[in-house]
Amino acid sequence: MASRRLGEVIKVSEELIKKACSLAMKAHKSPEKLYLVEKSRSSTEVIFSFPGYWSVDNWFTGSPFGEKKIDLGKFDSLKNIGNEDVAIFNEAFLNRFDAILSQLQIEVRKAVTEKKKIVFTGHSSGGPIAILAAVWFLQNGLDLNKTMKPLCITFGSPLVGDRIFNHALSREDWSQCFTHFVMRYDIFPRVPLAPLESTASQLHHILPLLNPKQTAQASFEEAAKALYWNVMRNASSVASNAACHLMGNTNKLLETISSFVKLSPYRPFGTYVFCTGNGRLVVVRNPDSVLQILFYSSQLSSGEGSEICTRSVKDHFGYQSEIQSLEAKTVTDLDQFEELPLSSNGGGGAGSSGIDIVLNELGLSTRARLCLCAAAELEKQKLRNQKKINDKIPDIEQALKILEGYKARCEAREVSYYDAFKASRDPDDFNANVKRLALAGICDEIMEMLKKYDLPDGFEGCQEWVKLGTRYRLIVEPLDIANYYRHLKNEDTGPYMTKGRPRRYRYTQKWLEYAEHSPTGTRLESSFWAQVEELIQTSNRNPFEAVQAKVSHLESQVKTWIEEGVLGDDIFLENSTFVNWWKSHPQHHTSTPWFSTRIK
What is the C-alpha to C-alpha distance for residues 438 and 440, in angstroms, rounded to an integer? Answer: 5
φ, ψ of residue 266 to 5 degrees: the values are -75, 140
Cβ atoms of 152 and 121 closer than 8 Å: yes
- Which pLDDT score, from 0 to 100, does residue 208 have? 86
Q: Quick one: pLDDT band at residue 589, thresholds 50, 70, 90?
A: confident
What is the C-alpha to C-alpha distance for residues 497 and 531, in angstroms, rounded to an integer? Answer: 8
pLDDT tens digits, 44-74: 899 999 999 888 999 998 888 999 999 999 9
Q: How far is CA 462 from CA 447, 456, 465, 469, in A?
A: 15, 10, 6, 11
pLDDT tens digits, 457-474: 999 989 999 999 999 999
In three-state secondary structure terms, 10 is: helix
Residues of the chain with CATH 3.40.50: 6-364
**What single-letter amino acid sits at 330?**
T
Within 10 angstroms of residue 448's Cβ, the number of other Cβ atoms is 12
451-454-455-457 Cα dihedral, nearest 10 degrees:
70
pLDDT tens digits, 222-256: 889 999 999 999 999 999 999 988 887 655 555 55
202: left (phi over 0), alpha (psi -120 to 50) or beta: alpha
H or E element: which one contains 397?
helix 393-412
358-361-362-367 Cα dihedral, nearest 10 degrees:
80
145-149-150-152 Cα dihedral, nearest 10 degrees:
130
Q: Which CATH class is domain 6-364?
A: alpha beta
For residue 316, indicate whether it is catalytic: yes
Catalytic, out of 143, 186, 356, 570: 186
- Which pLDDT score, from 0 to 100, does residue 465 have? 96
- Which pLDDT score, from 0 to 100, does residue 348 have? 43
Averaged over 21-44, what is the pLDDT? 89
What is the C-alpha to C-alpha distance for residues 516 and 513, in angstroms, rounded to an integer? Answer: 5
pLDDT of 548 over the 70 cut: yes
pLDDT of 340 over the 90 cut: no
DSSP per residue, 272-340 = EEEE-SSSEEEEE--HHHHHHHHHHTTSPPTT--HHHHHHHHHGGG-HHHHHTTGGG-EEEEGGG-S--
- Which pLDDT score, from 0 to 100, does residue 236 have? 93
- Which pLDDT score, from 0 to 100, does residue 250 have? 55
Q: Which residues contact 206 (CB under 8 A, 6 or more apart)?
A: 220, 223, 224, 227, 313
pLDDT of 351 over the 50 cut: no
- Which pLDDT score, from 0 to 100, does residue 440 have? 97
Catalytic, out of 28, 49, 85, 124: 124
pLDDT tens digits, 297-326: 988 765 566 788 888 999 998 999 999 988
What is the C-alpha to C-alpha distance for residues 520 and 509, in angstroms, rounded to an integer? Answer: 9
pLDDT tens digits, 466-512: 999 999 999 999 999 999 999 999 999 999 999 999 999 999 999 99
Averaged over 407-433, what is the pLDDT? 95
For residue 22, indicate whether it is catalytic: no
Within 10 angstroms of residue 595's Cβ, the number of other Cβ atoms is 19
Catalytic, out of 28, 316, 333, 526: 316
Most confident of 167-171, 199-203, 571-575: 167-171
- Which pLDDT score, from 0 to 100, does residue 212 have? 76
